[in-house]
Structure 1
């Protein structure tokens, strides 16, 4: 088999394919004998081995290209972008198909706003052509001698000065225009620094549900949280694997960060609500009413569209002189004399851009929850109990890897935020393949404390626990899943459960609206039933059959659970009485449940100045890390009974990093 470099292959493939197309067109004008002679004379006969070839590459999710070939042309192209994570990429398949057919090669223009997807499509198309031409392509990168570097990390790219096509100068460079990046950029801009934000996508995104202590919204309602009680509970949740100084810092500065955001929202006519607690007296689990969420419904961006956090903060940042470059992924950090002085990024055309940042670089690329190679290497036990991924697009570990190459210390324990809200078909199993299949549905009320059983039809856990508690307990179940069982009175029970945060499905005590109402959940039932992930049956035995559970065991479990409900005491697992519910009124419902990924929680360890620290725990000058790229804060499991704990840390520390970088340049 002939070997050729990838760049050389792409050039040869493009030239050969175009030549073949011309020959085929000429041949069509001649009789069969003349066509064969013409094709043979031009040297284009048998360029391809006829057939259909497929290749998959990583974009923001995965991209699959399937090409069918005659001996001299590409005759059909199918592009699957359905697993990408932004709409412009998902909807680009037809455009790519037409471009590949017209070009008869992998050398096509990218789709505007989907540069990462474009590169993946071109690479997959090149692989199909390679297969059809019988070429073995050698990767141009030099294969390093095994030095113990993990495969998921790889080696820092070497980029020669001659490859730099543009140089930019700024004071503060923010890598990532999402939740942490936008708060950091606004803060740097407010403090007078020339600031540039680069992002690998076409725009950023800001999460709602932001946690804080002592915001004005909490004070107005009368919510009081003792910061040392909070630190103690966070330490328990993390099994001690956190830096308490960071949690204390968050407790002291988060209220100001939320108040500042509330001002920005108010300028656009948007209310920020505190998600009050206090109606769950008697719960066995400590809850902190830290959540704050904007009320977006009815807002307007001036062009008839509903506002969102990214729009509000980007518009505000622009008034401060902050500049933005999208479709510009960071490739590596620049470190000179022990200090991070900038970064090298890639522009939309594939050229390299050097960005000098005299005061510092703030890395906020969102963690690695969309990088399945990293998840398989670092968190295989967690990947085995999830079936759906709800990560913000772009979270592929770029920032963490760049910081490690620059000497940053990665957390030694690895964890992700998981919610128990994914619904599987009865024969499905959780894991990477299930996530990528697209067959899993969101089951928002999975976090409600209904009866939950294992594959034996037996109850095995206090359903009133944390979102992740039952998922980790699923590790002891045969199929790494559990099953949620409820009856037709479920809407009444949901209101008596008085859950917290985003699991709550009716208004909070102060009138704050939930993320999703139980009425909207009910509206989704027909679609879930049609898809085969929710079952509605007239008897428990029939429900057991649909879910693949032993009927006798499930009937006995339901009978026992109804007995406990009647007593008002959970003698078996100690669930609070107000979170018990009967399963008596037909029709009955059942769902096979697994986990839903929101983000990873481990990252580069930082100090109180938001500086990344090295393996000796010394700060790396000029390098700041915030959000899901940063570490030293969470471990083992997510403290979901503090609503917005992760997003609250991200915005508070993003704001702090922007201020310190702009004014101190540590």
Structure 2
């Protein structure tokens, strides 16, 4: 056999270490027999002693730390605390034990935690590579050998012989979350045999759902001109949208919301419209589009804890919809220019094929948990966030699978960010903070309190959109701002009359806020103070010191702000009088404030039938895309002054996709 170089030997040895083959076996392969000396038996001399760490994405971030002698793995630590599935979080000790026993990354997956298992094995393999000197830096950082972007990669090649089972359905829904459940219910209502697969154990439905002309809006008297709405959405996106899709939302969202209201009512839950009407004089246009279930006090007689996912999963099951969880899609199957199904993995990590005779609906949630994709496609946005609130599973699987079969991806890339993360003073926003979750959930961040830069100076009209000040942070030295308020904050937030989920007291029609100020006052704010994400001080000078701001400048800024409050006119930035607040009553509060990711907003371009289109803008038969996987609807920034704009679009188009796939799809 040809003699192996040192690096070549290490590459083979790495593969062996990751698959359980011993170095003795390698020696036998290389020399015709295994050397009996200690240096050649076992894995002796293979590793550089030390401790190595790697992080991979599961449903959240999974970190594996391994310590090596020159011949063995001596200690393993697995951190699954950032995972979003309880079983995965609790599985760290099991993974540690398995990796130590195997002395390899090849361990059995834990049932119910397939995604986490994959991430653990991949991170462990990376640690082994590092210990064996195989972690190289000379590979291309942006593209692979054929010029494909590294974040995209190429579709896997799976032999028919690797497929252990085949399933048949008419409509296949990939992703059982906000869009997927509406799509599945619609497909089944229209007579199609329907199957839902999801990479995690269950889907989730966001509670803020936008619509125009629902029966709930009509009852209150909310009227929104659809062309005013389309115009504003176009302005916000700087024209980078397909107006036909926004018009479609305006025309079909009411029926979808009314239908959902009926499903909730069947389970004893009220759906409420979050009315406007108390915000006259605001500089920014607000559309009262929001609808949220009133879960508190709801009871369908079963004693079960209800949420949107359970309500619709139960309803879908009653229609005959089947669900397969822990079943991630690997790739779409395309035959004769038509998408006819998918290859997926079952709970045991084995390949299965699912044929869908009427169509596949992709709704896997975008890519806001895929940091490599975000860093490649929108690094400017990743640099102004410090926390991630994405629904589990949003790692770009659906978008990449669609691109592999020829679908067209948006040219502009953006994410939905709310200004509700707090960092400790020495921390900086960006991938590391967001990925590691080292931030506080600062719900008050969207309130229009005084906000200053690292020089202690005011720099922005705090009454703008959630993302406005975050994008303005791009001009600040530390890509952050600092929120300052006093002990009378509960009085001021009632005068602010904010919209949507930032509101912390009832809407004009008595609809509940997402989080009432009492919950923030009694628990959330004291917790942030205790954990060092918010500071509570007796003087502005002391607050400045804690936040690392120049005390003289901050004191002068506060004095000027109080002067403007007394005048009732913001002469510096034009903020509305009812959005001003004095800072006089000690103790004073301050936080280093940055962004909070909810989802990505760019995706696969679609037509009015929800069909993915190819690069010629022709529909791809059998392939439908909804929700955060779909594009053409948002760009640049999220229109948060239309409450539930994203989720309302998702459920409306999910319902449409299910109907079309079941009855008239191409």
Query: Do the structures match in fold with TM over 0.5?
Result: yes
Conserved? CA contact 1:359–1:662, under 8 Å:
yes
Return closer, same or farther for 1:107/1:458 CA change in 2, 3 Å cut-off.
Answer: same
Q: Which string of whole-angstrom CA distances, capped at 9 and with x for unpartnered residues, describes residues 192-212 of structure 1?
A: 001111111111111110000
Q: How does 1:29-68 map to 2 (within 5 A)?
A: 40=38, 43-44=41-42, 46=44, 49=47, 51-68=50-67
The number of equivalent residue pairs is 644
Structure 1 residue 572: Cα displacement: 1.1
Give the aligned partner of residue 637 of structure 2. 637
Conserved? CA contact 1:296–1:306, under 8 Å:
no
Structure 1 residue 135: Cα displacement: 7.4
Q: How does 1:43-192 map to 2 (within 5 A)?
A: 43-44=41-42, 46=44, 49=47, 51-70=50-69, 73-129=72-128, 146-192=145-191
Conserved? CA contact 2:344–2:351, under 8 Å:
yes
Q: Which string of whole-angstrom CA distances, capped at 9 and with x for unpartnered residues, describes residues 277-336 of structure 1?
A: 101111111111100011122345877542111111111111111111111111111111
Conserved? CA contact 1:13–1:105, under 8 Å:
yes
Give the counterpart of 1:9 among 11, 16, 24: 16
Separation of aligned partners in 1, 2:117 and 2:437? 21
Q: Which string of whole-angstrom CA distances, capped at 9 and with x for unpartnered residues, describes residues 159-181 of structure 1?
A: 22222211111111111111001
Q: How does 1:496-515 map to 2 (within 5 A)?
A: 496-515=495-514
Alignment of 1:373 onto 2:377: no
Conserved? CA contact 1:17–1:105, under 8 Å:
no
Conserved? CA contact 1:14–1:107, under 8 Å:
no
Q: Which string of whole-angstrom CA distances, capped at 9 and with x for unpartnered residues, describes residues 38-76 of structure 1?
A: 995994483665544433333233322223345665443
Return closer, same or farther for 1:223/1:134 CA change in 2, 3 Å cut-off.
Answer: closer
Separation of aligned partners in 2, 1:239 and 1:251? 19
Conserved? CA contact 2:105–2:121, under 8 Å:
yes
Conserved? CA contact 1:611–1:620, under 8 Å:
yes
Conserved? CA contact 1:17–1:104, under 8 Å:
no
Q: How does 1:302-381 map to 2 (within 5 A)?
A: 304-381=303-380
Q: How does 1:218-257 map to 2 (within 5 A)?
A: 218-257=217-256
Conserved? CA contact 2:412–2:602, under 8 Å:
yes
Give the aligned partner of residue 35 of structure 1. none
Q: How does 1:390-539 map to 2 (within 5 A)?
A: 390-522=389-521, 523-539=523-539
SS of the residue 1:84 aligns to: coil
Conserved? CA contact 1:39–1:45, under 8 Å:
no
Return closer, same or farther for 1:87/1:563 CA change in 2, 3 Å cut-off.
Answer: same
Give the aligned partner of residue 624 of structure 1. 624
Conserved? CA contact 2:22–2:42, under 8 Å:
no
Q: Provide the TM-score with structure 2 as the length reference.
A: 0.92
Conserved? CA contact 1:47–1:133, under 8 Å:
no
Aligned residues: CA RMSD: 2.4
Separation of aligned partners in 1, 2:452 and 2:130? 48
Separation of aligned partners in 2, 1:379 and 1:459? 27
Conserved? CA contact 1:4–1:136, under 8 Å:
no
Structure 1 residue 359: Cα displacement: 0.6
SS of the residue 2:590 aligns to: strand
Q: Provide the TM-score with structure 1 as the length reference.
A: 0.92
Q: Which string of whole-angstrom CA distances, capped at 9 and with x for unpartnered residues, describes residues 85-129 of structure 1?
A: 322222211221233334444333222221011112123334444
Separation of aligned partners in 1, 2:280 and 2:85? 42
SS of the residue 1:658 aligns to: helix
Separation of aligned partners in 2, 1:435 and 1:252? 37
Q: Which string of whole-angstrom CA distances, capped at 9 and with x for unpartnered residues, describes residues 412-433 of structure 1?
A: 1111101011101111111001
Return closer, same or farther for 1:43/1:431 CA change in 2, 3 Å cut-off.
Answer: closer
Give the aligned partner of residue 600 of structure 2. 600
Give the aligned partner of residue 31 of structure 1. none
Conserved? CA contact 1:169–1:356, under 8 Å:
yes
Give the aligned partner of residue 27 of structure 1. none
Structure 1 residue 77: Cα displacement: 2.1
Return closer, same or farther for 1:4/1:317 CA change in 2, 3 Å cut-off.
Answer: same
Separation of aligned partners in 1, 2:42 and 2:249? 67
Give the aligned partner of residue 259 of structure 2. 260
Conserved? CA contact 2:44–2:72, under 8 Å:
no
Q: Which moved more, 1:611-620 or 1:122-131?
A: 122-131
Separation of aligned partners in 2, 1:520 and 1:17? 62
Conserved? CA contact 1:330–1:346, under 8 Å:
yes
Conserved? CA contact 2:59–2:115, under 8 Å:
yes
